């Protein structure tokens, strides 16, 4: 039996969308840390999506190290999307 089996599929959809958004952001952080080839089309695609998703938090922090700025900026967006998405999904399934 699904966690969202109360007849409200919207909560499940919101949670899945939040998970996918966080996954994209996490994937970009991993690609950045592993120095993925920026000329690769998949890397460019993930980077462009992550930039769009983290537009509000991307340059929020001013650490000296570039890797720390990437992890903090994109990581913050991922955590916020997960927290807010699952909080909304949880409230929707309770009503």
- Measure Cα distances from 25 to 6, 8, 14, 79 in Å: 30, 27, 17, 10
Q: Within 10 Å of residue 41's Cβ, how many Cβ atoms?
A: 8
Note the pLDDT tens digit of each residue in 54-68: 999 998 999 999 999
Q: Within 10 Å of residue 44's Cβ, how many Cβ atoms?
A: 13
Confidence at residue 1, expressed as pLDDT on a 0 to 100 scale = 43
Global pTM value? 0.87
């Amino acid at each position: 039996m699904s966690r969202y089996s109360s007849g409200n599929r919207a909560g499940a959809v919101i949670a899945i969308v939040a998970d996918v958004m966080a996954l994209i952001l996490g994937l970009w952080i991993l690609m950045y840390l592993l120095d993925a080839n920026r000329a690769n089309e998949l890397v460019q695609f993930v980077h462009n999506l992550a930039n769009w998703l983290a537009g509000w938090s991307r340059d929020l922090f001013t650490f000296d190290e570039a890797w720390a700025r990437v992890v903090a900026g994109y990581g913050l967006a991922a955590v916020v999307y997960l927290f807010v998405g699952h909080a909304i999904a949880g409230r929707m399934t309770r009503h």
